[in-house]
Amino acid sequence: MADIESARETFDRFDVDGDGYVTADEFKAAMAAMGDAFAGPGAQAVIAAKDSDGDGRMSFEEFWASRAK
C-alpha cells in the first residue's frame, strides 16, 4: 500500500492543476521547480512514453502502470 501512496504523492507533484492528468507543460514545470531543466520535446517524449491511450496526457493509472514495468 505504501508504494501506491508514494506514487500518488509523486504524481500529484506533477499534476499542477489537480485535474488528474499530467501534461508535458506540467511535467516540464515540475521538473524545473525541482531544479532540472527539461526541454519541450523531452517533456513531450516522457509523457508520450507513458500515455497508453494516446490522449496527450498521463493519468495516474498510466503513471502507476509504467512504474510496474
Domains of the chain and any CATH numbers: 2-67 (1.10.238.10)
C-alpha cell at 14: 506533477
Report pLDDT digits (tens) over 5-21.
999 999 999 999 999 99
CA dihedral (55, 59, 31, 25) positive or negative:
positive
Q: What's residue 52's pLDDT?
A: 96
Task: State the average pLDDT for the chain.
Answer: 91
- For position 2, what pLDDT does the model report? 63
pLDDT at 37: 78
**pLDDT of residue 38 exceeding 80:** no
The pTM assigned to this predicted structure is: 0.88
